[in-house]
Amino acid sequence: MKTVLLTGATGFVGRQIVNYLSKTGSSIVPVIRVGKESEFNATPNIERVVTSSDIFQETEDWWAHQCRGVDIVIHAAWYTKPGAYLHSSKNVDCLIGSLTLAKGAIKAGISRFVGIGTCFEYDLAVKTVLVNTPLRPLTPYASAKASLFLGLNHWMELQDVEFGWCRLFYLYGEGEHELRLVPYIHRQLAAGMEANLTNGSQVRDFLDVSDAARLITKFAMSDKQGAVNICSGIPVTIRQIAETIADQYGRRDLLKFGEREENSFDPPHVLGIPDNGVLEWG
């Protein structure tokens, strides 16, 4: 039986990880913002709840205390406000705070650390990426994530701590922020309003957040190390996604492609290749 400390436990991905950790029978130590403690009143296998006003400002000793008796750390917390996170200076705070967390966790004697990365760490000019595709982050968010991976990958080995890194692709599903693509289209069409979109030709690798959390949990509870792609491996265009949603309302006429400009840093084609030798769908 393992004790798992999970940061970002009330977030889009984190709350789903909690669900799957509960099913493994592991003891869970969620780390959350002050005031959200009640969210775990009915959650099984919660050993204790750790609260903080800002985990990225906590000290190494604070983390060492919180990680006492913990076997595995899953670090899912980060600054992810839609429309702001990619270029925010808060990414530097998250990077520094995450390194402090790792140092405290090692001091406490953890045996395994699993971080959550992003497909944007890769050189996406390659279009279809494997875990050994070269890294070429183009935003402060992706650079901070890649820096954390590079900083911990070999250092954890020297500390005799297992290290894993889960690179997420395009997630959707329960708890998704209303400003993201899928909730935006649903909200507009449900209200009978037009949805302004780009031309829709971009190819993406979409995965339900519940499936992503299941894979992250399975990986975290294994002894596998290194980076893995948390993705579907199935290419789909933004137009296809939008039209599938519109068909639920019978309102493809409300989809207005080409009305929104593409971001200069938004790649035309992102497809991940999952490592089925490490992560099976069963």
Q: pLDDT (tens digit, 9 = 90+) per residue, 61-110? A: 999 999 999 999 999 999 999 889 999 999 999 999 999 999 999 999 99
For the chain, list the strands marked E by DSSP. Answer: 3-7, 27-33, 50-52, 72-75, 112-118, 128-129, 162-168, 170-172, 195-196, 203-208, 226-230, 235-237, 255-256, 271-272
Share of the chain above pLDDT 70, in %: 97
Task: Please state, in angstroms and rounded to a whole number, the distance separating the CA atoms of residues 232 and 199.
Answer: 23
DSSP state of 109: T
pLDDT at 44 over 70: yes
Question: What pLDDT is attached to residue 277?
Answer: 55
Neighbours of 146 (CB within 10 A): 21
Question: What pLDDT is attached to residue 262?
Answer: 79
Q: Quick one: residue 166, left, alpha or beta (phi over 0 = left, psi -120 to 50 = alpha)?
A: beta
Mean pLDDT of 5-18: 97
Task: Please state, in angstroms and rounded to a whole number, the distance separating the CA atoms of residues 185 and 154.
Answer: 42
Question: What pLDDT is attached to residue 276?
Answer: 58
Task: Please state, in angstroms and rounded to a whole number, the distance separating the CA atoms of residues 31 and 51.
Answer: 6
Question: What pLDDT is attached to residue 42?
Answer: 84
Contact 165, 114 (CB under 8 A): yes
Tens-place pLDDT, residues 136-176 = 999 999 999 999 999 999 999 999 999 999 999 999 999 88
Task: Please state, in angstroms and rounded to a whole number, the distance separating the CA atoms of residues 25 and 191.
Answer: 42
Question: What pLDDT is attached to residue 280?
Answer: 53
Question: What pLDDT is attached to residue 177?
Answer: 85
Tens-place pLDDT, residues 232-275 = 999 999 999 999 999 999 999 999 999 988 776 688 999 999 87
DSSP of 208-257: EHHHHHHHHHHHHTSS--EEEEES---EEEHHHHHHHHHHHHT-GGGEET
Mean pLDDT of 116-129: 96
Mean pLDDT of 113-133: 96
Residue 60, classified by CB atoms within 10 Å of its CB into exposed (0-12), middle (13-18) or buried (19+), is middle
Q: Quick one: residue 147, left, alpha or beta (phi over 0 = left, psi -120 to 50 = alpha)?
A: alpha
Tens-place pLDDT, residues 26-35 = 999 999 999 9
pTM over cut 0.85: yes
DSSP state of 57: G
Question: What pLDDT is attached to residue 83?
Answer: 85
User: Cα-Cα-Cα-Cα dihedral of 240, 242, 243, 244, to 10°?
Assistant: 80
Q: Give the mean pLDDT of the chain.
A: 94
DSSP state of 48: -
Give the residue carrying structure tokens 């009640």: 38
Question: What pLDDT is attached to residue 282?
Answer: 47
Mean pLDDT of 218-244: 96
Give the residue carrying structure tokens 């530097």: 92
